[in-house]
Amino acid sequence: MHISRCTVGIGLLQAIRAAHAQTAIASTTETPAPTTATVTVVDVPTATATTGAYFPPVGSIEPDYSAEGLDELWNVIGSVEAPPFTTTVTPTASVALPSPPPPLYPAFFAPEPKDILPQYKFPAGFKYGVATAAYQVEGAVKDEGKGPTMWDWASRQPGGVADNTTGDIVDLNYYLYKMDTARVAALGLNTHSFSVSWSRILPYGAADSPVNQEGVDHYSDVIDTHLEYGVEPVVTLFHWDTPLALQAYYGGFTSPKIVDDFINYAKAVFSAYNGRVKTWYTFNEPRVFCEQIASYPFNVTYAAGVNTSTAPFHCAYYLLKAHAGAVKAFRAMNISGEIALKNDDFVGTPWRANNTDDAEAVERHAAFQIGIFSDPLYTTGDWPQIMKDTLPEEYLPRFTDEEKADLLGSADFYAIDSYRSWFVSAPDNGVAACVSNTSDPNWPQCNLNMVYDAQAGWAAGVLSDPGTDWLGATPDGARELFNELNRRWPSPKIYVSEFGFSEPFENERTQLYEIKQDVARTNYYMTYLGEILQSIHEDGVPIAGIFAWAMIDNAEWGSGISTKFGIQHVNYTTLERTYKRSAIALSDFWAAHQS
């Protein structure tokens, strides 16, 4: 299987496939492109270990909803680092923005944020904000009744995270959310998209297990704080932090049992925060999540009968059923607002012009990366035909007519986490040979991402930090992508639910003046926002919100804190936040372009 976002250590199978993909590209004869390490697909592991993870055999821990039962779950994790304080901090002073940074370039070379496409404004009601996820920013993982999650576990497995960062403390946003919200408000941004951690609401995850009122109250105050500061809270129910209990009891998203448990959790969150949250997501990037659980270290935690090859598709099937069930409940409960899930990735451009195999590879890419979760919701209620033609039922369970009916229309808008847009090529043995051979290293996707052009081998975009080899800044492809999304999966409204950039080698900078000077990230945001304005005004694409990933530096999954996405720096000794140039640029851009 070809994985285009590798967020954790990479399994042996993936390692072999990624290696093959590199060979395939390097040996392609049509291009004079370099044959060195710049010849790359985007699947580069951020950690090296591929074995050594331990998880209790699935089913060996019986559901036990007592304090002892919770201890047993935490024992799977081992010891947890306690945060330096355990009460919510209330800011005592208002947040002052720093004096404006000097222009980066002469105006003839690059305009300042306010001068970019000044004729275009964002439409009324536009959501212009930032994004985070519970595991990546909260810390306080064992506080106030929370149960462990699979990322609390994964971060402790050998090689699970490149720099061994755990979520134990990170940004301690769990106690610092008031300050963090005040700092977003000070920038003038109007929205923050964050996730609720399932195991804070239900420490044992399961539908028949007790609700943790402290967890419910926590997010209630987080939401109220946002409303007080005029920062709209947008809530994601699941951003990859599966309750460890459910993995231990039955294998998490590799088991059908997850469906009812997720629906129950969703209902608890809907009823707790109904009326205060207007935009909801069930799942963040299900494709990345389902591929993540097919890799090390999660590949030792499956339900019986599931393996690394089938896990992503079984996960996709149960996750979609969970999504549809949650949306059904949302509507039956008359919850106010709108709901969808967050797709990710790009459609792609054929690597070689007029090459039918590459054109077919693009279609495969669109199907396996986006169509997998978009066709069922927006166009057919079913998997993309390409997937059904490729994958036998033991890999890809088929939907019943009733399931299709539940899926189709189960999203009120379209959301895309849109970080990049690469070229796509056929594998060097061609699409047909790959598709017909289940042992082909690129099966079943049978397409490759290409990060340089086919003619002269020029990089397709601005390179990011080495910890995120899947990422490059490719603003030139943004409009085409939004047009394609709008054409293929039409919806009344599109949110760019995440976009962002890892400043190359930011982790090696030691002085604040160096860290704050995040030029590549600033350029990323300014160029993408210009493209987004053009998409809205020149292409008529109904983009209604953007969310910069991320509000602050955070635990970047398998890369830990070594790869930075924040528009604010976090000093991991003092937990102090500092605005980077990109934060000020985003603020200035919004001030000049809001209607």
Residues binding ligand BGC (CB under 6 A): 133, 136, 284-285, 288, 344, 417, 498, 549, 556, 565
- In contact, 215 and 147? CB cutoff 8 Å: no
CA–CA separation, 571 vs 548, rounded Å?
20
**Of the candidates 503, 508, 496, which has an alpha carbon nearest to the alpha carbon of residue 521?**
503
Give 484 or 556: the residue with its C-beta nearer to ligand BGC: 556
What is the closest distance, in whole angstroms, from the C-beta atom of residue 189 to ligand BGC in the complex?
18
- Identified catalytic residue from 498, 503, 531, 556: 498
Q: Count Cβ atoms within 10 A of the Cβ of residue 37 and give its class: 0-12 exposed, 13-18 middle, 19 or more buried.
A: exposed
Nearest approach, Cβ of residue 556 and ligand BGC (Å): 5
307 neighbors 58 (Cβ within 8 angstroms): no
CB 539 within 8 A of CB 494: no
At a CB cut-off of 8 Å and minimum separation 6, what does 270 contact?
A: 280, 329, 330, 333, 335
Nearer to ligand BGC, 358 or 498 (CB): 498
Residue 498 appears among annotated catalytic residues:
yes
- Indicate the burial class of 402 (C-beta count within 10 angstroms; 0-12, 13-18, 19 or more): exposed
In terms of DSSP bridges, do strands 423-425 and 349-350 run parallel, antiparallel, or are they unpaired? Answer: parallel
How many residues make up the chain in this entry? 595
**Residue 339: in which H helix or E strand, if any?**
strand 338-344
Rank residues 6 and 306 by Cβ distance to ligand BGC and give the closer one.
6
3-state SS, residue 323: helix
Nearer to ligand BGC, 339 or 415 (CB): 415
SS3 string, 497-562, reads: EEECCCCCCHHHCCCHHHHHCCHHHHHHHHHHHHHHHHHHHHCCCCEEEEEEECCCCCCCHHHHHH
Is 40 or 136 the residue whose CB approaches ligand BGC more closely?
Answer: 136
The burial of 433, by beta-carbon neighbours within 10 Å (0-12 exposed, 13-18 middle, 19 or more buried), is given as middle
Residue with Cβ nearer ligand BGC (262 or 549):
549
- By beta-carbon proximity to ligand BGC, the closer residue of 31 and 195 is 195
The contacts of residue 454 (CB under 8 Å, 6+ apart) are 30, 31, 33, 351, 352, 353, 423, 425
Q: How far is the CB of 490 from ligand BGC (least distance, A)?
A: 24
Catalytic residue among 285, 291, 484, 503: 285
* Beta-sheet pairing, 338-344 with 279-284: parallel
Residue whose CB is less far from ligand BGC, 218 or 420: 420
In whole angstroms, how close is the CB of 170 to ligand BGC at the nearest point? 12
Give the nearest distance from C-beta 169 to ligand BGC in angstroms.
17
Q: How far is the CB of 265 from ligand BGC (least distance, A)?
A: 19
Contact 565, 588 (CB under 8 A): no
Minimum Å gap between C-beta 238 and ligand BGC is 11
- Residue 545's DSSP bridge partners are 127, 495
| CA angle centred on 128, ends 6 and 482, rounded to 5° | 55
Among 451, 397, 443, 446, smallest CA distance to 422 is for 451
CB of 375 to ligand BGC, least distance (A): 21
| CA dist 218 → 145, 148, 267, 559 (Å) | 11, 17, 17, 28
By annotation, the residues acting in catalysis are: 285, 498
